[in-house]
A and B are shown apart, each in its own frame.
Chain A
């Protein structure tokens, strides 16, 4: 069931829970109660990660195997990380792609999952936000956003801007120990790794 902003406000105000919903820096819950919508706006953070095309001939996911998530993201041979402080801006040029993070650190309790989508006002200006947007229960960290400028005009994006929104859903068969997210505890964008699973490997093995 999709949570209303009123219900979200109630969960955010519950500071006694041992498995709380947390969004920090948090929205004002009194505003959320008044809003009457079913999502929470999230703001752009200060960190950006851009692939270095000059260093990459192809993206070979096989090379991700066995690498820790953090090492892979911070590998300066394949990505360049930028910090844009509050008050400054990042220019996203047409047809360019960058990973960004939300300003908010989000912690979802065991019984709640989320979906992140862009805001239509940005979409109409060519800015597409996030294509892989499911957030699992017990995720905790800043969300990584994939930003692409599909328009023809460079776009200035500033940390602190409302950039996307998250819809929160109750998970019908709530488990105390759902599958753990690999991306727990990051304040910067995480590239992650695409490790071929057992089935994929078996398909690649010739008899």
Chain B
């Protein structure tokens, strides 16, 4: 049957590509280990197809082929991600400090693959089957060598922690209650779209579910993004805010995703969290972001407004939870009192001499970035400041790892 043979060929071709990539040299071993896991899973699918006897029904073969081939779209992007982790333009010295941070947050079994993406968004693959212990962090390829953007990895680590802590389960009942309350509080407005429902029947009815299920899902996704922002802030302090603004400001008012709070609102939530963590807000931080709209009208707009409000009402809980997580895991203080020492090192054109955390180094990096007079006496690097600062930051992160190993 051609379907069976074609499926086997597709799987074999995919497996050959995985082997091909796995056989190359990686800067760190995790990418190869992940590829070997994928290769084994492809082999399992091939074996399952081989076991189909000649007497299997057409339905069985079709279903088996459909199931087996699903592995390719799931893992092909991961294979590409692993391949790109070899790129020397990635901030390779940041690997160990980020791995230590990942393990401090998500447990000792955590593995890290640091790579880049060909889309202009920091990206993480969430809960990839059979690779659940892997944190996959990829900055956009055009910015992947920019060490100042490393704090954005904090947001991606947040997604791992959200899953690890099963935060969806924790927050879903609260989101559910908020969304129902908001529908009932705005019942008159809702009746523009649905008149056959009564208030007292809304929560338990299938028709009601049709209206409130989506806002619950959106609000939960929004809350996850807020959680990840707050984790990034808790880990990297003001450096996260600078990286966030560099990367996202001013935003596109017409490109609102319902899975995120609108950008100006995210900035407001970060300002709230910054006050809680005693992190100084960069000048005009919130004002840099344009208000976005969903570009939708009618019911869709109404539902998004409910999701936004439900998320907003739970932000304080998220900030408090991240604060507790930071204390439980003894995360370094993000307010960065020792940052000036490192800035002074950078002024003398040397990496951090005794770095204590990646956060300290990255905050010093942003402070040095803002000081245009920092190297006025070094004429030969006036046109090369960004490169030199990048070198100093990455070398400082390497020094952090060397100290950790040497001093136990």
Residues of chain A touching chain B, judged by Cβ–Cβ distance below 8 Å, are 15, 18, 20, 22, 24-26, 46, 68, 70, 81-86, 103, 105, 107, 140-142, 180-182, 184-188
Contact = CB atoms under 8 A, between A and B. Distances in A.
B393 to A, nearest CB: 10
A24 B88 contact: no
Nearest to B400: A25
A188 to B, nearest CB: 8
Interface string B364-384: 000000000000001111001
A162 to B, nearest CB: 14
A185 B348 contact: no
Tell me the dominant secondary structure on chain A's binding face. Answer: loop
Contact of B88 (A15, A81, A180, A186): A81
Contacts of B391: 141, 185-188
Given A70-B384, A85-B27, A105-B350, 6 more contacts: A83-B27, A85-B95, A105-B395, A180-B379, A185-B349, A185-B391
Given A85-B92, A185-B388, A185-B391, A107 B348 contact: yes
Nearest to B388: A185
Q: Which 8 A-B pairs give the minimum distances between C-beta atoms?
A: A185-B388, A140-B349, A25-B402, A22-B350, A187-B391, A187-B395, A180-B380, A107-B350
Given A81-B88, A86-B401, A184 B350 contact: no
Of B391, B392, B403, chain A has the most CB atoms within 10 Å of the CB of B391
B351 interface: yes
Nearest to A182: B380
B346 to A, nearest CB: 10
Contacts of B88: 81-83
B348 A20 contact: yes
Contacts of B392: 185
A66 to B, nearest CB: 14
A184 B92 contact: no
Contacts of A188: 391
B247 interface: no
Contacts of B349: 107, 140, 184-185
Contacts of B353: 15, 22, 24, 26
B380 A184 contact: yes
Contacts of B348: 18, 20, 22, 107, 140
A33 B405 CA distance: 23
A142 B352 CA distance: 14
B285 interface: no
